[in-house]
C-alpha cells in the first residue's frame, strides 16, 4: 500500500512539474485561460458531485472568463 501511495505522489509531482514547465512560453492571457479552465472544472465538479457535463461546462466557462480577463488592461 505504501508503495502505491509513494508512486502516486511521485506521479502527481512529475505531472505538476511538466505542467508548470509547459507554461513557460505562454502569454499572460493564455495562463489566465488555463487557470480559469482549471478553476471552472473544479467548481463544476464540486457543485454537481462530479458530473462530467458540468465539469466540462465549468472548464469552458472558466477558460473563456480567464481569456477575456486581460483584455481591458491592454487598451
17 domain residue, yes or no = no
| 60, part of any domain | yes
Instruction: State pTM to two decimals.
Output: 0.65
Q: Is residue 50 part of a domain?
A: yes
Instruction: Give 73 or 27, the one with higher predicted confidence.
Output: 27
Q: Which tens digits make up the pLDDT trace of 38-72? A: 888 888 888 888 788 888 999 999 989 988 987 76
> How far is residue 20's CA from residue 9's CA, in Å, rounded to a whole number?
16
User: Residue 49 — φ and ψ, nearest 5°?
Assistant: 75, 25
For residue 66, give its domain range: 25-75
| Total count of residues recorded for the chain | 75
Tally the domains of the chain.
1
Cα–Cα distance between 11 and 31 in angstroms, integer? 23
- Asked if residue 44 belongs to a domain, the reply is yes
Within-domain flag for 33 = yes
Amino acid at each position: 500500500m505504501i508503495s502505491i501511495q509513494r508512486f502516486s505522489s511521485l506521479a502527481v509531482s512529475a505531472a505538476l512539474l511538466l505542467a508548470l514547465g509547459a507554461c513557460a512560453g505562454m502569454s499572460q492571457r493564455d495562463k489566465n485561460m488555463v487557470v480559469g479552465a482549471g478553476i471552472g472544472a473544479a467548481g463544476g465538479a464540486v457543485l454537481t458531485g462530479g458530473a462530467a457535463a458540468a465539469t466540462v461546462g465549468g472548464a469552458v466557462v472558466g477558460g473563456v472568463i480567464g481569456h477575456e480577463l486581460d483584455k481591458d488592461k491592454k487598451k
